[in-house]
Structure 1
């Protein structure tokens, strides 16, 4: 009887141990994962200001391209035909050979010739300053004067002719000589008048007068 009890006790213990071992062997192990919470970063005052004051991106201004303008050289202006003729007249020696001249205190003037062409009148003069003082021009005019006949003045009316072109300088330096040409629109003078060329000096009394007779104009040499 005792043997039977011991046998039962051992069998029950064995079965219980075996069942406990079986359950333990089939149990799955669970691995626990721990997630570390991120600690929020505390911004300093300077970082906050920089974050808030961060400027928006500014678009760069567009570059304005200025087109290059090439310099244009103006075409040379053509000289009027009467200026070209005046330059030719200045090269002439003159055809009036008599002593048609005047001298006043070292300043002497000559009427060298009268020319016509292209509807213009060209009067060629020559001025020589033989003194040691410059002859500075104040004025130079062409004016008609009456001619006396038998002691009587026929016409007292004066008329002034204004040239349209001249190479007249402002001054004649001492011991110098120069040809002058004066260009007028075509004109004539009656036989009872004469044309005078009158040149006056600045701050001086050397007034030079040259006579241009009407026949010089009527018999003017042709120039082309």
Structure 2
């Protein structure tokens, strides 16, 4: 009965707009995956017993901890003190590349305080702020529907091909369009796909400084690429530029495998997007 009531509240809460694909959070049974929410957590529910989400029920806190046992994927639903609703796909993964997630308000899929509202005053529609993530999703989908004139850069490793198709500037964001093609006879499990900025340190002891560039939105990032198939995706980043002493590195890492690829992207491609 509780599940039915909770689900009904959720569906009533979500605005009548196209919903963005749910992000995926990976966890295992040896480490705590920490989720920091913008407001204190009031309620957290997982859809399967092989996932456990814990938070302080006596003292309001922004922190929740997720653990998982091997099994099928499930979902996590979290409600903040202010009624904001957050929903994620959760999967078990033995090897984790990320242990901390800082959740922003823009990640909310709706607010339960809108439950019970059967009608929307059309005079107020224009006053509802457009969700940026919805814009990211629409423009990313548009980019993937466009024909490409060939890759800007391409790199291979044992039948797996990483291609940088385009870098597009729109408003205040850079959209990085990527294709991963698996020409091998074995499925490719994606552990992570990251972007870094590399800076060569001058001096007697030359070193390489690498700074992780956090995307603000990921569109259609696959977890697995079947043999003989390919997947295209988009990473959205805040607009930035780099000097000629720096470069961007795009890295795709195979889960439980060694077919890893690092692609160096020169500053001219970053500073002169489409």
TM-score, with length taken from structure 1? 0.59
> Cα distance, 1:94 vs. partner?
3.7
The corresponding residue for 2:146 is: 92
Gaps of 5+ in 1: 1-70
User: 1:9-158 counterparts in 2 under 5 A?
Assistant: 74-77=14-17, 80-94=134-148, 97=151, 100-146=153-199, 156-158=208-210
Q: Which has the higher contact order (CA 8 A, sep 6+)?
A: 1
Q: Which has the higher strand share?
A: 2
The corresponding residue for 1:24 is: none
Superposed CA offset, 1:142-181 (max 9, x none): 11223699xx95x732211111212211111110012121
Moved more, 155-164 or 140-149: 140-149
| Change over 3 Å in CA distance of 1:85–1:120 after alignment to 2 | same
| Change over 3 Å in CA distance of 1:192–1:95 after alignment to 2 | farther
Asked which structure has the greater CA Rg, the reply is 1
Q: Is the 8 A contact 2:165 2:178 kept in 1?
A: yes
Counterpart selection for 2:212 from 135, 160, 171: 160
Q: Is the 8 A contact 2:201 2:208 kept in 1?
A: no
Aligned residues: 148
Q: Distance in 2 between matches of 1:171 and 1:82?
A: 23
Pairwise CA RMSD:
2.7
The corresponding residue for 1:176 is: 229
TM-score, with length taken from structure 2? 0.49
Gaps of 5+ in 2: 1-10, 19-132
